[in-house]
Amino acid sequence: MSKFAPYSEPFEQFDVWFDQAEKSEPEYHNAVAVATSSPDGLPSVRMVLLKAHDERGFVFYTNFESRKGEELLKNLNAAMLFHWKSLNRQIRIEGSVEVVTLEEADAYFASRPRVSQIGSWASKQSRPLEGRLEFEAQIAKYTAKYGVGPVPRPPQWSGFRLIPDSFEFWEDRKFRLHERQQFCVNEGRSGWEKQALFP
């Protein structure tokens, strides 16, 4: 019997699976692969942590000077893949991206552990590093600089929200007779069209 049938829109199904993954995954149920591409079409992918989600989209944070940050600022399209081995499930999400508001970025940055805040200042993300000592020296520098009081958010550190155009839910079945369900936003973005897919 299909486990997809009750859901007429993708966000409800995502929430159910995400909540189940939180209970079943040993660590980081919110880990998600994010795929980007350069302006000339060269792809890259990496794992990030999902920090917020609702019907507006799926939010993660990064350094805008990192490879993913630079690629997203130049090509506002991306894809995500959640894979939960404990549930034998995965969800693919594709769409456009937007930068989160300053208020959202400030609020999330303020919630981070102080050491992580310092690390955001110390790391020249994706840039060449001579050795670990260079990074540790930068950590010491910003630890001293922000020794008292709150640590401000670096101007190059913020977040992206992926606004979905499509979802694909996949669940393992015996003998590779898997189940796949796709949701695509309709014209005018007023609703979703649902379609089962061959595995």
Q: Model pTM?
A: 0.92
Residues with catalytic function:
176
- Residue 54 CB: number of other CB atoms within 10 A? 10
Report mean pLDDT in 10-residue bins for the chain, 199 residues: 69 97 96 96 96 97 96 97 97 98 98 96 88 93 94 97 98 93 92 94
Q: How much is the pLDDT for 1?
A: 44
Helix (H, G, I), strand (E, B) or coil at 169: strand
Give the max Cα distance, the chain. 60
Q: How much is the pLDDT for 27?
A: 93
Q: How much is the pLDDT for 4?
A: 58
Helix (H, G, I), strand (E, B) or coil at 184: strand
Q: What are the helix (H) ranges across 100-197? A: 102-111, 114-122, 132-145
- Contact criterion met (CB below 8 Å) for 18 and 169: no
Q: Given 3.40.50.11060, 3.40.640.10, 3.40.50.720, 2.30.110.10, which CATH number is that of 10-197?
A: 2.30.110.10
Helix (H, G, I), strand (E, B) or coil at 11: helix
- Contact criterion met (CB below 8 Å) for 65 and 125: yes
Q: How much is the pLDDT for 2?
A: 54
